[in-house]
Structure 1
Amino acid sequence: MELWETMLRSISAFVLMMFLARLLGKPTIAQMTYHDFVAVITLGSITANLAFNNTISIRILLTSMLTFTGIAYLLMVLAMKNQKLRSWFSGKPTVLIQEGKIMEGNMRKLKVTLDTLNQELRGKNFFNIQDVQYAVLELNGSISVLPKPDCMPVIKKDLHLKSQSEQAFPIELIMDGDIIEANLQQNNLTTEWLQSQIKKKGLSLKEINYAVISTDGNVYFDEYKDQIESPIDKE
């Protein structure tokens, strides 16, 4: 009877964990931010006890699992609604290399060594650190790299350009419909200038979900209304 009970509990734990994973969504699995990491570790421990610990009642384990799932789901919803809470719960991307210079203070703060940085850069096919313009440690622990202009691979569009302008780091202007005033001030941009760019596109601020100045200096706008009739989620 104990073997059958263990098998039944294990199957139930697996099915329940799959359901909870689907409920929390793909970003929780892919990104693993601070609160995601805590939630996954805790839920994994509770699920293991549900599978083989016969001394703890299933009712208590289920209550504990559903409570932690509710907390994780609530934090995820709050993070989506509020940028400040999202920054506190999930953290912020951190610049490790800026304009070709290593940010030693940021690396010490994040406990990142030069060996680790070089290893991550080699994983991005950058064996010479002097070829890197920007390197950013993302929320999920990966490092994004922007090479210096003369180290960028040639693409078809480059063959039609007479001169290549200096590359710059993307500047986020609007996120979740809110203007990022700090970024405007740091880059000597005004709200009036942003409003004029919005008008050139024939849009209004309330229609914009995300806006960014890309590395080529152009302003990109993403509207709330995607005008896609049947979005496809490839699984």
Structure 2
Amino acid sequence: MHIFFRTMIAFIMLLVIARILGKQVLSNMTFHDFVTGITLGAIAANLAFNPKIESSYLVLSLAVFTTTSFVIAVVSIKSRKVRKWITGSPTVLIEGGKLLEGNMKKVKYSLDSLIQSLREKDVFDLHEVEYAVLEDNGKLSVLKKHDYRTITKKDLHITPKAPTNFPIELIMDGQLIERNLNEHGVSRKWLESELEHKNKRISDVFYAVKSTSGKLMLDFYQDGLKQPIDKELNT
């Protein structure tokens, strides 16, 4: 029971810490985020499974480390010099279609890793690349040469008829999202009338969203499929 309660405390504290530090830790794993994640994980693991160390010491350690990491994150946002020192800076690996061997050696990035990262960007020939940049989070950003770039509507001189709206979630898990209705001026009566046309109620809807085109997209708990697939597909 002692280990059980310590584990629950560690789990809850990690959730709280993740909320405090924000989504940056989850989305972009920079040097600072990498160190923070490993250290917090090690402290939390000791809190959960190492009864030889007082739980109060570990909780204090988590609190101090979280505060320190939060302060560093705030300072790095306000100061570009501090941010550059903590998170590093992007490194150009390909410029003008030419490999920069010196930069690759500087960041200890092998040619095999570069080719693999390019394949993940659907680039199988180096001569297609104009620029390749290794970002702070270890991901590779690629700018293809003009001849190999995807054609856009602007290239075809096609202008959109109207600006695209952000989709608005109206119902989720059978529950009406009143806040979204009020913030985006969506009438509840309109939504209920749309459902009445389909002989449905709000409680029958698993998910409802007003799409970017302004149309109402609905998914019901009972989809009416004659033979729904409820197992993994055989391949």
Query: Where in structure 2 are the equivalents of 1:84-95 lying within 5 Å?
Result: 84-95=81-92
Quick one: which amino acid aligns to residue 137 of structure 1?
L
Structure 2 Cα separation of the partners of residues 58 and 113 of structure 1: 43
* Corresponding position of 1:156: 153
The alignment status of 1:58 with 2:55, answered yes or no, reads: yes
TM-score where L is the length of structure 1: 0.66
Q: Report the 3-state secondary structure (helix = DSSP H, G, I; strand = E; otherwise coil) of the residue aligned with 1:63.
A: helix
Quick one: which amino acid aligns to residue 136 of structure 1?
V
* Corresponding position of 1:79: 76
* Corresponding position of 2:224: none
Structure 2 Cα separation of the partners of residues 111 and 153 of structure 1: 31
Structure 1 Cα separation of the partners of residues 56 and 111 of structure 2: 49
Alignment deviations for residues 23-80 of structure 1 (CA, whole Å, 9 cap, x no partner):
0000112111111111111110000000011111111101111111111111100100
Q: Give 1 or 2 for the bigger CA radius of gyration.
A: 2
Q: Report the 3-state secondary structure (helix = DSSP H, G, I; strand = E; otherwise coil) of the residue aligned with 1:159.
A: coil
CA-based RMSD: 1.5
* Corresponding position of 2:211: none
* Corresponding position of 1:138: 135
Structure 2 Cα separation of the partners of residues 160 and 52 of structure 1: 63
Stretches of structure 2 that go unaligned for 5 or more consecutive residues are 159-182, 184-235
Match for 1:31 among 25, 28, 46? 28
Stretches of structure 1 that go unaligned for 5 or more consecutive residues are 162-229, 231-235
Quick one: which amino acid aligns to residue 71 of structure 2?
L
Alignment deviations for residues 197-231 of structure 1 (CA, whole Å, 9 cap, x no partner):
xxxxxxxxxxxxxxxxxxxxxxxxxxxxxxxxx7x
Query: Where in structure 2 are the equivalents of 1:82-121 lying within 5 Å?
Result: 82-121=79-118
Structure 1 Cα separation of the partners of residues 101 and 152 of structure 2: 33
Identity %, equivalent residues: 47
* Corresponding position of 1:49: 46
Alignment deviations for residues 99-142 of structure 1 (CA, whole Å, 9 cap, x no partner):
11111111001111111100000000000011000000011110
* Corresponding position of 2:13: 16
Quick one: which amino acid aligns to residue 25 of structure 2?
T
Tell me how far 1:160 sits from its aligned partner: 2.5
Structure 2 Cα separation of the partners of residues 156 and 59 of structure 1: 60
Quick one: which amino acid aligns to residue 4 of structure 2?
M
TM-score where L is the length of structure 2: 0.66
Deviation above 2 Å: which 4+ runs of structure 1?
A: none
Structure 2 Cα separation of the partners of residues 38 and 159 of structure 1: 47
Q: Report the 3-state secondary structure (helix = DSSP H, G, I; strand = E; otherwise coil) of the residue aligned with 1:146.
A: strand
